[in-house]
């Protein structure tokens, strides 16, 4: 989770983001689109995590600046461990302002 946040925050890491995405849910995504830095990510707060075997969940709030305005996105992300690597399956955005 933290490495994916860092990849978004730095920008230019579309290949990494795509390689850590669960293939069945990555349909239509491209390295170029994931590499674009669209907002200024400023802080990540991990609120909780859970794991059952190869299934995991991370709840977080990601803070960012968009067009000069401070905003935040609250999400519960689902991960699946495949061959020892955690892959992002998808998430539910709880609040975004």
| Spatial contact of 30 and 51, defined as CB atoms under 8 Å apart | no
Q: What is the three-class DSSP state of 1?
A: coil
Rg of the chain on CA atoms, in Å? 13
Written as six digits, the tokens of 48 are 């909780």
Q: Express each pLDDT in 66-86 by its tens digit.
A: 999 999 999 999 999 999 999
pTM (predicted TM-score)? 0.91
Q: Express each pLDDT in 46-65 by its tens digit.
A: 999 999 999 999 999 999 99
Domains of the chain plus CATH, in order, are: 2-96 (3.10.450.50)
Q: Residue for token digits 């905003």?
A: 71
Q: Is 56 left (phi over 0), alpha (psi -120 to 50) or beta?
A: beta
DSSP annotation of 84 reads T
User: Residue 41's beta-bridge partner residues?
Assistant: 64
């Amino acid at each position: 989770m933290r490495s994916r946040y860092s990849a978004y925050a730095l920008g230019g890491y579309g290949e990494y983001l795509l390689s850590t995405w669960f293939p069945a849910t990555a349909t239509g995504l491209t390295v170029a689109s994931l590499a674009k830095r669209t907002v200024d990510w400023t802080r990540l707060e991990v609120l909780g995590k859970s794991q059952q075997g190869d299934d995991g969940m991370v709840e977080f709030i990601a803070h960012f600046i968009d067009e000069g305005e401070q905003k935040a996105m609250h999400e519960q992300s689902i991960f699946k461990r495949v061959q020892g690597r955690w892959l992002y399956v998808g998430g539910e955005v709880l609040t975004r302002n």
